[in-house]
Amino acid sequence: MHLQRERTFLQAIIYMFTQFIYFIVSLLIYSTYQKPDYYIFSDNTALILFNVLFCIFIFLARKSYVRLGQEIINGQCDFHYERMDRLTNRLTILGLLFYTLDIYALNLKKFIHWIPLFQSFPTLSALCFLLLFFIYISIVYYWEYEIYYLIHPDSPGRMVYIYSNLSFSLPMLLPWLFISLAGDALLFLPDSSFKTMLNSAIGENIQFLILLILIALFAPKFIKKIWRCEPLPEGIYRDCIDATCKEAGVGYSNILFWPIFGGKMITAGVMGLTKKFRYILVTRALIETLSLEELRGVIAHEIGHVKKSHLIKYFVSVLLFSFVIVNVVNSGLFLCYKALGTGHIHMATIVFTCFMILFMVVYFRLIFGYFMRNFEREADIFAYQMIGAAAPLISAFNKITFYSGRPPTQPNWHHFSIAQRISYLERCEENPEWIHSHDRKVKRSMAAYIVGVLIFIGLSFQMPEYTRNDLFMMHAEEILEAAIEKEPHDAELYLLLGEASLLNQHYQKAIYAYTMSLQFQTDNPETLNNLAWLYATCEEVNLRNPKKALDLAQKAAKLKSSQHILDTLAEAYYVNGYFEQAVQLAEKVMKMELKNPEYYEKQLKKFKQALL
């Protein structure tokens, strides 16, 4: 039986990006949920089913890891991290499925949406459900620890292990949290042209850009605290790392011990776009496993990411991808609703969510993975050029292969296999043209990617701009109908239902709602005006009633002589053939202080042409 001593740098990177995808998917599942036309389960049944599903998940997680542990103890399988990671991934996906059922089937969101604080700060509601997803994956880590302890009997406690796993996701939570809270804060701004600009598609993209830049610059300060990093003590290892950085001309704020999983990973890293906020990270296992020359090779590889501007390129890639997502969600979700109709909003949401999950998985696996593989190769080449030999890095790779217990020929979606990386370094030593060839490949690929995304973003701005109000109007009718069931004599609710139905082009329902509103409040000029306009101009000709339109418009004008009510009366005169009265009234309106004079000029011209 072979037991792997440590996690490797390669496995750490795989793990981090896998966690990133899970986090994005869980957030997307929550954010695209819409209230269904009806609830499948009552409140009590939903809560009971939630607890049943939760217990089932705990049972499945425990059973899976206990069985794997028994197989390892009994020598029935050769163990390496690959098998445990596969099981963890399967259970995390199962947790995502249970999480989706909690939101879409059990509609757990209804239990907190009424809380005033969550209505004022929607981000807090989202945090509650992200916490639910974190609880699911914490259960996975809780039982995964049983296997980890078999390998590392001297490992830190179970809670430290769970925190170490979750801390990979916490840095990814920061950008979303800050951006979402900033969006919530905008809701409290007074209505103004500035607020209107911020809520437009261009304004939202500008906000997102500024916040993302600030996060990219200052996030490393927070992340090192989340990861509980401490300065690397003075000594030969710190001197080696410092000398390597100075030789490459790369400044940094500090060299830190990365205590993730108690420092058991063989890994190093660099984070931060600027010198003031840049940190070199190493684990205790890395220092204990590699020689000084091998450590220099690994650090030179990490420096290569800085010198080749990979961190900036990753930032640009994530930024452009985020713009794509913002614009796709902003327009695509509403187009999906319109395609399937307002009667199938819940189904449209599920379809769109599935499409977005597939899109993100494909994007990260194919496009982002392509750049990650080639950036890693570029960093390998830089380390070779800086040191003047490939041997130290190749030696480090061989140790990684030994301790990982995985075949050196096994690639993954964002790294070439160890064998491929070693082979390419050897080819570069034999013929430097391989270096130039790879440089050209990366530059051309990055240029093509940027051009492609910019074209996509440009096209997205040509699509109709939809807002949260558009989404609200799609749900407004069902919300108002539910409110009317509780307050069946509320004239204001019927008025609002009429306006929502009119905007959604449900004209028959709008007529009914306005009529019911007038039964309970006969002298409301806005209700009289809206129903008059609908009778005069309805797109469904069979619903028009010019005589009723004129009668209602005259009553409204007696109560309130505002420009839009007088315009409705003029339109009522027009549809009844009283063109002269329509012209006289339109001319009276033109003398008023108008917000939209072009519209009223068009109305007057129409009436005058009819008079001729």
* Interatomic CA distance for residues 221 and 213, integer angstroms: 14
| Mean pLDDT confidence for 406-421 | 76
Task: Say yes or no: do domains 189-307 and 468-611 share a fold.
Answer: no
* Interatomic CA distance for residues 304 and 244, integer angstroms: 11
Percent of residues, the chain, with pLDDT higher than 90: 33
Query: pLDDT band at 610, cuts 50/70/90?
Result: confident
* Assessment of whether the complete model's pTM goes beyond 0.85: no
Q: What is the rounded average pLDDT for all residues in the chain?
A: 82
Residue with more model confidence, 291 or 474:
291
| Mean pLDDT confidence for 501-509 | 86
pLDDT in the model for residue 9 = 45
The answer to whether 278 touches 271, Cβ cutoff 8 Å, is: yes
What is the CB neighbour count within 10 angstroms for residue 476?
A: 19
CA distances from 290 to 155, 261, 549 (A): 20, 18, 87
CATH class of the domain at 189-307:
alpha beta
* Interatomic CA distance for residues 192 and 168, integer angstroms: 41
Q: Is the pLDDT of residue 231 over 90?
A: yes
What is the CB neighbour count within 10 angstroms for residue 403?
A: 19
- Beta strand 265-266 with 230-231 is unpaired
Phi-psi label, residue 505: left if phi above 0, alpha if psi -120 to 50, beta otherwise: left
Tens-digit pLDDT profile for residues 241-253: 999 999 999 999 9
- Beta strand 7-8 with 265-266 is parallel
Residue with more model confidence, 24 or 584:
584
Query: pLDDT band at 82, cuts 50/70/90?
Result: low
Backbone phi and psi for residue 257, each to the nearest 5 degrees, phi listed first: -75, 130
* Interatomic CA distance for residues 393 and 301, integer angstroms: 8
pLDDT in the model for residue 51 = 95
Q: Characterize 413-448 residue by residue with b for buried, 16 or more Cβ atoms within 10 angstroms of its Cβ, and e for exposed.
A: ebbbbbeebbebbeebeeeeebbeebeeebeeebee
Tens-digit pLDDT profile for residues 255-288: 999 887 666 677 888 888 888 889 999 988 888 8
Of 565, 566, 561, which Cα lies nearest the Cα of 586? 566
Of 332, 330, 342, which Cα lies nearest the Cα of 475? 342
End-to-end CA distance of the chain: 99
Specify the CATH architecture of the domain 468-611.
Alpha Horseshoe (1.25)
- Rg of the chain, C-alpha, whole Å: 32
Q: Is the pLDDT of residue 429 over 60?
A: yes
Of 398, 541, 545, which Cα lies nearest the Cα of 531? 545
pLDDT in the model for residue 511 = 93
Residue with more model confidence, 133 or 454:
133
Domain boundaries, given as residue ranges, for the chain: 1-186, 189-307, 330-464, 468-611
- Ordered DSSP codes for 360-409: HHHIIIIIIHHHHHHHHHHHHHHHHHHHS-SHHHHHHHHHHHHHHTS-TT
